[in-house]
Structure 1
Amino acid sequence: MSNSQDMARAVRLLALDVDGVLTDGSIYYGNDGEELKAFSIKDGLGIKLLQRAGVEVVIITGRQSRIVARRAAELGIAEVIQGREDKRVALEELCRRKSLEMTECAYMGDDLPDLGAITSAGLGMTVADAAEAVASAADWRSRYPGGRGAVREACEYLLEARGLREKLEADFR
């Protein structure tokens, strides 16, 4: 069993960045100034499965967006921290508030603003198309790019480390 699998088994909270992780990093603006983002349904199901296993999922993002709040509500993500560029500090504050050790937290990000949180979390996770410095620092890297199944793969990895993936997938048979 690898060290990252041991770290994955200890995770009680998964914190996710949005742009470049839950989305492909593109931001679309409509003619009336509305902001649009595309989210993967597969990532959403992965989040739901992880929540069923008792792992809390939270969002920490540097931007402010009603779209993010809406997507979080659809997925049952109660904790959404927006407008925080200091993601490491935000994650540390969140852990203190929830009486969690950093070793019990995973953080998934894709770019330099995520680097501090990735290196501070018990399990630093990233996407296939992450910035090189982030990819080098992460404990685990998805085979998929952000917004295209990376979060789903991360959730399945955490479930597999607990021995719960097959059981939760069997509920759909």
Structure 2
Amino acid sequence: MDATVFEQIRLMLWDVDGVLTNGDIFISAEGESFKQFNVKDGVAVALLAKHGVKTGVLSGKQSPALSKRCEQLGLDIVMTGIHNKIAALSAICKELSITPKQVAYIGDDVIDLEVMRHVALTFAPADAHMLIKNEADVVTQASGGRGVAREAAEHLLMSRGLSMDEVYKPLMDAWNATVVVQ
């Protein structure tokens, strides 16, 4: 893939279940009670921010647990309970004054195919549905809920020609002055 694609990315969006989580849903009589997230993905948000890339979630699901995690991470875009992801993508691009060709997206299941076909760069977790892995530009080594976002963030930034040390330098320089939510 042409390096300019990686350089043009201004927003990385994630699906949630199966990407930021392993896809398990814990439901009590009151509804979905909690989700399990990976701290590595929290670092991805801070890392991308230090390199001028905005972050967000675009999810069909909505829950208090997801809202709380998004709040903790300080994501730029939080769109949950979305049934038309293409319309949501269009609204996000308009809000940020970017085009879909400046967006990277990570999805894991067939509902994500349409979005993946509209953005510049796509990732899939190692355990994503085969149709998603076939569509993705990059399939991570990590499975859903196991650091997929962080692996994708590192891949994006290193594909811009940065070494791993250069990828982390801005974050490490500010580590003590910045609260990094993991």
Please point out which of 111, 114, 117 is paired with 1:113: 111
Q: Counterpart of 1:9 in 2: which secondary structure?
A: helix
Which 4+ stretches in 1 moved above 3 angstroms? 30-34, 170-173
5+ residue gaps, structure 1, are: none
Tell me if structure 2 keeps the 8 A contact 1:16–1:108.
yes
Q: Pairwise CA RMSD of aligned residues?
A: 1.8
Please point out which of 102, 109, 113 is paired with 2:100: 102
Are 1:61 and 2:50 an aligned pair?
no
Are 1:169 and 2:168 an aligned pair?
yes
What amino acid is the match of 1:167? E
Range with bigger deviation, 85-94 or 108-117: 85-94
State the match for 1:141 in structure 2. Answer: 139
> Compared with structure 1, are the counterparts of its residues 90 and 164 closer, same or farther at alpha carbon in structure 2 (3 Å cutoff)?
farther
Q: Return the offset for 1:78.
A: 3.3
**TM score, norm. by length of structure 2:** 0.86
Give identity over the alignment, percent: 35
| 1:107-160, Cα deviation, whole Å (9 max, x unpaired) | 111001111111111111111111111111111111111100111100111121
User: How many residues are treated as equivalent by the alignment?
Assistant: 171
5+ residue gaps, structure 2, are: 174-182
Alpha-carbon distance between aligned partners in 2 of 1:100 and 1:126, rounded to the nearest angstrom: 23
State the match for 1:87 in structure 2. Answer: 85
Alpha-carbon distance between aligned partners in 1 of 2:172 and 2:121, rounded to the nearest angstrom: 29
**TM score, norm. by length of structure 1:** 0.90
Q: Counterpart of 1:120 in 2: which secondary structure?
A: coil
| 1:70-112, Cα deviation, whole Å (9 max, x unpaired) | 1111111132101112212211221122210111001111001
